Amino acid sequence: MKLAVLIYEGPYNHEASDSAYNFIQAARKKGHEIEGIFFYHDGVYNVTKLMEPPQDDRHIAKRWSELGGEGIDIVVCIAAAKRRGIVDDVLVPNVRISGLGQLTMMAIKAEKLVVFGD
């Protein structure tokens, strides 16, 4: 099954990012294909170089970057990013900025769109 994932919430203060990441890992192990991951609203904070978690904590942005490095299309909403002062320079590798049209295309190509956060 082809899945697209939409994440609304930021890292560390909500479970949406961790839940989405764990869901994606489990889905891939079961043989499902991830069409893409789209970060919207405060979800755009998940993929910035600006976070420096303690060594004994998970590095959420690094996890997303690694997934992008494995060929999964990871997109940040340009409008949501700009409203929060996030530009290309502060994004981790393997993540790109684009518009809501990318989310629409992901949803069209996928069989299901799974949403994490409010």
Phi and psi of 38, rounded to 5°? -120, 125
Active site residue 40: no
In the set 37, 77, 92, 97, the catalytic residue is 77
Q: At what angle do helices 16-29 and 60-69 cross, to 10 degrees?
A: 30
In whole angstroms, give the CA distance from residue 48 to residue 91: 4
Question: 44: which 2 tokens?
Answer: 């755009």
Give 68-82 as a 3 state SS string. Answer: HHCCCCEEEEHHHHH
DSSP-assigned beta bridge partners for residue 91:
48
Catalytic positions are 77
